A and B are shown apart, each in its own frame.
Chain A
Amino acid sequence: MGKLISKIPEGPLAQKWTKYKASVKLVNPANKKKLDIIIIGTGLSGAGAASTLGELGYNVKSFCYQDSPRRAHSVAAQGGINAAKNYQNDGDSVYRLFYDMIKGGDYRAREGNVYRAAEVSNQVIDHYTALGVPFARDYGGTLDTRSFGGVQVSRTFYSSGQTGQQCLLGAYSSLNRQIKKGNVTLYPRREMLDLVVIDGKARGIIARNLITGEIERHSAHAVILATGGYGTIYYLSTLAVNSNPSAAWKAHKKGAFFANPSFIQIHPTSIPQLNEFQSKLTLMSESLRNDGRIWVPKAKGDKRPANEIPEEERDYYLERRYPTFGNLVPRDVASRAAKERCDAGYGVGETGLAVNLDFRDSIKKMGKKVIENRYGNLFHMYKNITGIDPYVEPMRIYPAGHYTMGGLWVDYELMTTIPGLYAVGEANFSDHGANRLGASSLMQASGDGYFILPVTINNYLSDEIKVPKITTDSPEFEAAEKEVVERLNKLISIKGKKSAGEFHKRLGKIMWDYCGMVRNEEGLKKALVLIDELRKEFWSDLNVPGTVNEVNQELEKAGRIADYFEVAELLVTDAINRKESCGAHFREEFQTPDGEAMRNDEEFCYVSAWEYAGEDQPHILHKEELHFEEVEMKVRSYK
């Protein structure tokens, strides 16, 4: 395992980051200007890193596939952003936030990284507030918080149900300031199609201009991937439909290990699929479970309208199975329970793939007004999409792919296994273990981008100050560009009959059925066969109209889906390898007699980091053993 050196600093947990910062190498201001940094993605981690590195004086090039950085998918986060401020005086602390994350992640994350994420969370809130992010406030003018995701403290800062949007627009504003100053150059509507590695170091990218189709070479002394996750592998997910892991996957194929790919969070409360053309599953905040009761009919295939089913014929299955936590069990547990009922034939709606989330009792008890104040905007959105009024009838909900805890393997400095290549935010694997707690993705992405990477990257760049501007005329750039062009031409010249989207949809179904909320070895092995068959069909029956030298959205999609076949294989491979149930990864073979997840700490208390070994070669598994020095490993129970 020699290749995986996590570089966690020595010393007590609470002093690691302070100690690291005090001893990290620095780059003097005059030298910073000579160093180029490429950042892919403009979400909270990407825009945060770009603006901060710009402020420090580096020469930053920022890329996004959208027409504007303000549209990165961080924008869609609803609930809030955690920080250990303890403004409520309710006993919160950095340690408690750290502990909740480690436990919530089912003991599959690194203590050192998680502690640091908790530590910088307070600075993140300070910074966003200073940037003018309008977080909710109390009448005295101080910041308000709410509790979230079943923890015992109130540490979630929020802006109504649009916290991600407000934080992202804050990050976008700080990015704009550096663009105006000339420290950051923005390249919108660009898609990274390959990473260029020279003498073992990340030195640049090949990008496609999505307007002109032109293939561009960009060089830098370091490359940062802030490209988000791979949740759209299920086709239907809560993610933006163009979110994709292709940039990370290209980097993986150039030598960056991919860690814990099978750890994907399925969010329990999204609006279910309504028709076969559906492209997206809209999230309904999990806060709804505070006042809504989840149920299905007791009789199989009962197609009566929900309101006509009398109380005694309803099965409030979460309350039945988990009397202590009831409807407030964690996301993974609630998702699996919904699937279990629907698979057994008790689901509601035309497809039978939905359960009721009923506000009848809460409305009766507290009145419509109270419910409207709490959830008015969500009810409005729900009615808009489905045509059903949740004040009158229960909402129908079903789980949906939401967030990927897995991602590129990084060390404490957020560097991947390719020197000079970094991964931040959801694109890396490091802080959420096997399951992410609510409101901690904004926190981690912002912490990585604003406060961690801009410190750690100096350690690498201090050795790069003598390296002159990287030329893009080298054979490595030449070869990478050639490969990119060949692949685009290959995609466009198949001239089959089917659209890229159709393949994505079918791949998504395979992944959802066999590698979704519940997995077993037989299904996973079957998935590998099906993925391989579909991939062959893709490469022989895809059609991409038009040319490569123009706006061609089908070509963009096709390239991403081609990568997704490979990502899917690795994901399934990782799920087969991990013969335990932990967090969001639930293997049917490994459960307690009453159907709960059963971890195997003896054999699987490690990060699985996969090395790409070449076309059609099996990936090579590297294990980073996890050591828990501060926290004692326990079994989660919600009975």
Chain B
Amino acid sequence: MKLTLKIWRQKNAKSKGNFETYQMDSVSPEMAFLEMLDSLNKRLVEADKDPVAFDHDCREGICGSCGMYINGHPHGPVPAITTCHLSMRFFKDGETVWIEPWRAKPFPVIKDLIVDRTAFDKIQTAGGYISINTGAAPDANNIPVNKQNSDKAFDSAVCIGCGACVAACKNASAMLFVSAKVSQFALLPQGRIEAKERVKAMVDMMDEVGFGNCSNTGACEAECPKEIKISNIARMNREFFKAF
């Protein structure tokens, strides 16, 4: 099929970007979205032009590297998948496809579709852990955990840290991302011990690095490729209030 791509090109963080138009004449519906971009890049390289830079790695939806705005949706129009899993079957012959980087102040563009997501790491570093040294753990079955809580903790823990929630939010809020980690640990007895310090430290850092607030529009939940629930945010708020 034929497609017209409108891709955000930006040389580096300081330069001003713009949309460039690329015609694709033979896109196979069996391609993955990133493979379609690979084929464009091959063409550009062979013509000695600068290929489109984008983050990607595992290409199986788990590492969280990839992510771009496609036709107005983070990771494209299909729910519950990452960009690397998006198949070209979901596009129509003759369609124009708009491709942009995440747009959020705490995620500055590095080049083209690559953004700097180290703000996420800073939040995790502020408190996203349980303080236990290697070798100090008791036997694993000495910490029984209610199965329902354990399953819920897992559902929160599947966040891949891609940043789609922030990109989808009109406030560039990272509440879904932060609350997923806060929830995972809040639901487990191992994590309760420093729950107060954790939620305070993570929320403080979230504000410090410039993420916006939550106004309950739910865009994050709707766009999350791992279907992280907005109820995590409610839980984080409760944890936060309890922390004072």
Contacts and interface: CB of A to CB of B under 8 A. Distances in A.
Contacts of A545: 44-45, 48-51
A456 interface: no
B141 A177 contact: no
Contact of B32 (A75, A385, A454, A501): A385
B85 interface: yes
Interface in A260-307: 274-275, 277-280, 282-283
A85 B53 contact: no
Contact of A139 (B28, B30, B147): B147
A13 to B, nearest CB: 23
B137 A130 contact: yes
Contact of A131 (B41, B59, B129): B129
A499 B158 contact: no
Interface string A170-214: 001110110110000010100000000000000000000001000
B154 A166 contact: yes
Interface in A137-164: 137-143, 159-160, 162, 164
Contacts of B45: 499-500, 543-545, 554
A75 B48 contact: no
Contact of A123 (B51, B118, B135, B185): B135
A186 B154 CA distance: 27
Given A131-B129, A384-B81, A551 B144 contact: no
A130 B135 contact: no
Interface in B120-150: 120-121, 124-126, 128-141, 143-147, 150
Contact of A143 (B36, B117, B137, B141): B141
A457 to B, nearest CB: 13
Interface residues of A, number: 86
B55 A134 contact: no
Contact of B64 (A70, A159, A502): A70
Nearest to B129: A173
Interface residues of B, number: 81
Contacts of A71: 57-58, 63-65, 161
A165 B161 contact: no
Interface stretch (B108-116, B206-214, B216-224, B235-243): B108-116
A160 B154 contact: yes
A66 interface: yes
A31 interface: no
A160 B51 CA distance: 38
Contacts of A162: 62, 158
A137 B147 contact: yes
B105 interface: no
Given A385-B87, A551-B111, A554-B51, A173 B140 contact: no
B4 interface: no
B142 to A, nearest CB: 9
Interface in B171-209: 184-185, 188, 190-191
A11 interface: no
Contact of A134 (B41, B116, B184): B184
Contact of B131 (A87, A177, A188, A543): A177
A630 to B, nearest CB: 27
A230 interface: no
Contacts of B34: 279
Given A279-B35, A550-B111, A67 B117 contact: yes
B39 interface: yes
Contacts of A14: none
Contacts of B87: 384-385, 387
A51 B134 contact: yes
Contacts of B130: 130-132, 173
Nearest to B59: A280
A126 B60 contact: no
A174 B157 CA distance: 15
Nearest to A387: B89
A452 to B, nearest CB: 11
B170 interface: no
B71 interface: no
Contacts of A282: 59-60
A8 interface: no
Contacts of B70: none
Contact of A550 (B12, B31, B131): B12
A28 interface: no
A519 to B, nearest CB: 28
Contacts of B128: 173, 176
A546 interface: yes
A128 B35 CA distance: 36
Contacts of A551: 12, 53, 110-111, 114
B161 A275 contact: no
Interface in B10-68: 11-12, 28-32, 34-36, 38-39, 41-42, 44-46, 48-51, 53, 55-65
Nearest to A188: B118
Most buried by B among A52, A125, A282, A495: A282
Contacts of A76: 58, 60, 62-63
B153 interface: yes
Contacts of A277: 28, 31, 35-36, 38-39
Contacts of A70: 64, 121, 124, 161
A141 B145 contact: yes
Nearest to A52: B134
Given A127-B134, A132-B184, A546-B50, A275 B28 contact: yes
A55 B39 contact: no
Given A501-B42, A551-B111, A384 B35 contact: no
A179 to B, nearest CB: 5
A582 B162 CA distance: 41
B188 to A, nearest CB: 5
Contacts of A554: 41, 45, 51
A129 B89 CA distance: 41
Contacts of B153: 132, 134
Given A162-B158, A166-B154, A169-B157, A241 B57 contact: yes
A68 B53 contact: no
Contact of B53 (A73, A137, A243, A553): A553
Contact of A67 (B51, B59, B116): B116
A501 B38 contact: yes
What 6 pairs across the A-B complex have the smallest Cβ distances?
Answer: A141-B144, A130-B137, A173-B129, A134-B154, A129-B140, A280-B59
Given A76-B58, A280-B84, A501-B41, 15 more contacts: A70-B64, A73-B63, A75-B62, A76-B60, A125-B140, A130-B132, A132-B188, A138-B147, A173-B130, A186-B121, A274-B31, A282-B59, A385-B32, A387-B89, A545-B48
Interface of B: 11-12, 28-32, 34-36, 38-39, 41-42, 44-46, 48-51, 53, 55-65, 81, 84-85, 87, 89, 110-111, 114, 116-118, 120-121, 124-126, 128-141, 143-147, 150-151, 153-154, 157-158, 160-161, 184-185, 188, 190-191
23 contacts: A51-B134, A68-B117, A68-B161, A71-B63, A76-B58, A126-B139, A130-B130, A130-B137, A159-B154, A159-B157, A174-B132, A188-B118, A211-B110, A240-B57, A242-B57, A277-B28, A277-B39, A385-B85, A387-B89, A545-B49, A545-B50, A550-B12, A554-B41
